[in-house]
Every structure is written in C-alpha cells, then in structure tokens.
Amino acid sequence: MRAARLHRFGESPVIEEIALPSRGTGESLVRIEAAAVSHLDVTIASGTFAVIPTLPHIGGTDGVGEVLESDEFAMGTKVLIRGGGIGLKRDGCWAEYAVVGDSALTAVDDRLEPSVAATFLVPCTTGYVAVKDITAIAPGERVLVSGAAGAVGSIASQFAMRAGAANVTGIVSTGSKAQRLPAGVQPIVGSAEAVTSQLNSLRKFDVLIDTVGGPNLPSLLERVTPGGRAALVGYTHGSNVTLHLPNFLMSDVKILPVNMIRRAKEQAALAPLMSEMIIAGELVSPVQEFPLTEISEALEALGSGQLTGRAVLVPNALPTHR
C-alpha cells in the first residue's frame, strides 16, 4: 500500500510503498477514503509535541474509511477514525489502509461525503459552541468573524446568521476567499492595515469571533462595542498578542476562550446534529481535497493559511497538477 511516512522531524513525509498492515485482537482493518490534515498533525511531525512518535511514522489523527476486516464492525461499515493514539502513538490515516483499535472507530452516516465526514466534527462543533454558548449571539446583533473563509470561521458565520445576527462581516485575505464566504456574509478583504482602515469606517460590532489570532487581534478588539464579547478560537497568524491595558480596560470587552478539549462530551453529543444539518443542506462544512501524493502541497497550504476550509487527503484521487 502507499503511505505518507515521516522519516525526520521537521521534514515533509515521503510517499512510499509498504506492506499492508495486519490486525490483531480488538483491531479492524480500514480502507482509508479521506484523511484530515490539521495543525495538530503538523505539530506532531515537528517533533515538538508532548508525545513524540517513533520514526518512521504515518501521520493523520483523523480519517474516514470502510471496514474491510473486523470482529466488531460489519464489513463495509463507514467509520470515523479518531483517538486511540492514531497518528500519534501509532500510525495514522495518511495511507491507503490503516489498522485501528476498535475503540477509535465510530460508525458515521454514509450519506456524508468522505472528505466532509473526516473533517466536520471539530470545525462544526467549535463554530456552534462559539456562537451558541460562548458568545450567545442574540437576534439583531452585529458580528465580526476573522478568518471567515476558513473551516471554523465559515461555520461560525453560518451559525451567527442562523442565530439572527443583523449583520455578519467576514475578514478574508484575498478576493478569491471572499467569493467562497457563506451567502449573506459581508466581506472585508486585505492585509491587516487595509482591514483596520475598512473596519474604522463601519459601526462597531457586538461580537468578535477570532479564528486567527496574531498581532492584528488588538485592532479587531477595538472594533467591538463596550460591553461586547470576543471569542478567541485559533492562532494561525501568531500565538502572541500585546494589549495596551489602559485602553483595553476602558473598552470593557469580554475575552472568552473557546476550549473544545474541555468539551469532549459535548462535542460528541453534537456530532449527530451537525451531521444531519450537513446532509439536509442547512450547513456547509468547507474542505479542500488533495491526493495523497500531494501531501507536501497540503501541508504548505495549511502552513501559509491559503486553505479554504479543512485540508483533506484522498488516497485514491489522481494528481491535480496544481
């Protein structure tokens, strides 16, 4: 089988032909249909994560596939692969096949496209919680979303509109990303300086949902009305932020972290609702597919912030010649 294997930390995986793995007791053999590429995967591959895998290593902590052999699942069952050390303590989903502990498998609705099934859980539940629980957006409020074309940003924008927001404004870096925003989201396009200039011409917002972090976050907080709320979700643009405390304290904006690690049970409970909404066409979970052979391109797009939605590896897809 083909697999993307990491031989040195900090370098790109290499596509190799290796033997098909054999399953043991309490394990299933799964044919991978789609595998997510996430920032966690990148951190693991850097060798800086708290758990360091043994090399050579097949990455990919999340995937979807079809059960081929199992004592627990019927042959042909579509399953979500997540947990059990997959892609961390043991080989993951960046391959054509994987042997997975049965406890790390969950049957998924086969009406979901594999690339969506492999990636919807984290962004959909995170966006839902940010809107419904953390900021509790009310009808008539104005909402600003940074990274609005990304996986979480897109979902948060959709749920904000469903919550009755009077206006949802989405910040994106390019015109092509603006074209991919959910219908009804008002785009602001450009670099940090251009974004700040455009925002200064608009009324302040009741809620900020920030999915990118970085040095521009303080200027976004300044565009939230006094007494407003800011939910912080991610830090792809930078993990350090400097606030001018006198001005920030005067602004009286609540900064609210969105920590889904502490909400694992809630996340699992929300999965059926998110799945049904996607199947019904009420929610769109954006993905960008890459053939397995283009793992380096997927990682580069993820690192540069050029993705629209979640990056997904499709083992049997043909090269795209990008």
Instruction: State the pLDDT at residue 321.
Output: 46
In this structure, what DSSP letter does residue 133 have?
I
Instruction: State the pLDDT at residue 320.
Output: 57
Instruction: State the pLDDT at residue 56.
Output: 96
Instruction: Assess contact for 66 and 30: CB atoms under 8 A.
Output: yes
Spans of the chain, pLDDT less than 50 = 321-322
Integer CA distances (angstroms), 138 to 134, 159, 229, in order: 12, 11, 12
How far is 250 from 198, CA to CA, in rounded Å? 23
244-280: pLDDT as tens digits: 888 888 888 999 999 887 888 888 889 999 999 999 9
Looking at domain 121-261, its CATH superfamily turns out to be: NAD(P)-binding Rossmann-like Domain (3.40.50.720)
In this structure, what DSSP letter does residue 268 have?
H
Instruction: State the pLDDT at residue 318.
Output: 57
Determine phi and psi for 175, rounding to 5 degrees. Answer: -65, -35
Q: Which residues contact 202 (CB under 8 A, 6 or more apart)?
A: 169, 223
Q: State the sign of the Cα–Cα–Cα–Cα dihedral 189, 195, 198, 201.
A: positive
* Percent of residues, the chain, with pLDDT higher than 90: 71
Instruction: State the pLDDT at residue 322.
Output: 46
121-261 and 2-119+286-314 share a CATH fold? no
How far is 104 from 82, CA to CA, in rounded Å? 5
Instruction: State the pLDDT at residue 314.
Output: 95
Is residue 154 classed as helix, strand or coil in its secondary structure? helix
Residue 261 CB-density burial (10 A; 0-12 exposed, 13-18 middle, 19+ buried) = exposed
Residues in the chain: 322
Class of CATH domain 2-119+286-314? alpha beta
Instruction: State the pLDDT at residue 214.
Output: 86
Q: How many helices (H) and strands (E) does the chain have?
A: 10, 16
Sequence ranges of the domains in the chain: 2-119+286-314, 121-261
Is residue 229 classed as helix, strand or coil in its secondary structure? strand
State pTM to two decimals.
Answer: 0.84
How far is 108 from 118, CA to CA, in rounded Å? 10
Q: How many CA atoms lie within 13 A of 47 on its CB side?
A: 10
Residue 111's CB is within 10 A of a number of other CB atoms, namely: 12
Instruction: State the pLDDT at residue 61.
Output: 93
